[in-house]
Amino acid sequence: MTIIEETAVPSPREGDGGPLLEVRDLHVEFHTREGVVRAVNGVNYNVHAGETLAVLGESGSGKSVTAQAIMGILDMPPAKIPQGEILFRGEDMLKMSGEDRRKIRGRRIAMIFQDALSSLNPVLSVGYQLGEMFRVHQGLSKKDAKAKAIELMDRVKIPAAAARVNDYPHQFSGGMRQRIMIAMALALEPDLIIADEPTTALDVTVQAQVMDLLAELQREYNMGLILITHDLGVVADVADKIAVMYAGRIVERAPIHELYKRPAHPYTRGLLDSIPRLDQKGQELYAIKGLPPNLLHVPTGCAFNPRCPKAQDICRTDVPDLFPVTERDGGELPGRASACHFWKETIHG
């Protein structure tokens, strides 16, 4: 909890003031046999150095696709980016040459994937895979790269790093493998790390360890961090601000602790209510009714309307904008927004 006190205020930290990364009106579509899937529909968010943004959503909400678009690892085709900008230190990466983007990948922006077992190459030693970063981006020799790899493994607290550097991914435990993924992302001390469900595949006890390690290293290097998750419980302790996604759009944006206290979107409220709580032992657990929408046939109006307990006629016809959220008296709530026609009723009750 101490982390929250220290970093709760979402404010730019670096001298230059601008955000490290800014996603502007990003659209991503997939062209499939069944039709066009609009996976991301005008997403905006930004991250500053030293700041952690949590992106929350179910599978199919577009949270991972957005991350892949930022990394430039979408398969195009079938994916297409018809509209939008992704500014890294003010420069639009979508307009860069392939070679320039490659040089950013891994070195300036790195990514941690969900399933470390399948995300690490099974037939290459972890030392090789870690060392590759230095060999490719810095031209180090094989020997120096291996020394660096051992150093990295030490950093992420893998015991007996020097002895295990030649081992293969399948010889490590799940938690250790995820540490190797983190080490790989950290290798060149990037400005921004995108972690896509970094702890989902892990045991609960290991989850906390890996999360703490990630937060600690982030603070140490003053990196920006985008933490993608479907689990509100995971991000509470580490994130500064949060963006909730649903059917390819951001439906709510808020500083993290405010979202927990006062959600301004029925979807967020539903998610919070479905977290098991100790003080409500014995009661039936709440669940949002219905299924996530089929992206080939997104409901008209607000995509959440078929599942929303408060849906009115307008919700079925008009797509809500991302409205700025204010106090009941009109007082400003910095960094808050909600894409609900009835955000006032939702937040103020």
Q: How far apart are CA 235 and CA 227, in angstroms?
A: 8
Task: List Cβ neighbours of 103 (8 Å cut-off, separation of 6 or more).
Answer: 137
Of 114 and 346, which has the nearer Cβ to another protein? 114
Q: Minimum distance from CB of 97 to another protein (Å)?
A: 13
Residues 243/253, Cβ–Cβ less than 8 Å: yes
Q: Minimum distance from CB of 21 to another protein (Å)?
A: 15
Q: How far apart are CA 81 and CA 27, in angstroms?
A: 6
Q: How far apart are CA 52 and CA 55, in angstroms?
A: 10
Q: What is the DSSP letter of 289?
A: -
Of 68 and 338, which has the nearer Cβ to another protein? 68
Of 110 and 264, which has the nearer Cβ to another protein? 110
Which amino acid would we find at residue 152? Answer: L
Q: Minimum distance from CB of 324 to another protein (Å)?
A: 29
Which amino acid would we find at residue 327? Answer: E
Q: Minimum distance from CB of 196 to another protein (Å)?
A: 10
Of 135 and 316, which has the nearer Cβ to another protein? 135
Give me the residues that bind another protein (CB under 8 A), please: 30, 32, 34, 37, 39, 59-60, 64-65, 68, 71, 73, 75, 78-79, 102-107, 110-111, 113, 115, 118-125, 132-133, 136-137, 168, 170-171, 184, 292-296
Of 123 and 160, which has the nearer Cβ to another protein? 123
Q: How far apart are CA 259 and CA 265, in angstroms?
A: 10
Beta bridge partners of 55: 228, 243
Of 285 and 296, which has the nearer Cβ to another protein? 296
Is the previous residue joined to 78 through a cis bond, with omega within 30 degrees of 0?
A: yes
Q: Minimum distance from CB of 180 to another protein (Å)?
A: 11
Q: Minimum distance from CB of 333 to another protein (Å)?
A: 32
Residues 338/323, Cβ–Cβ less than 8 Å: yes
Q: How far apart are CA 50 and CA 224, in angstroms?
A: 5
Q: How far apart are CA 185 and CA 261, in angstroms?
A: 33
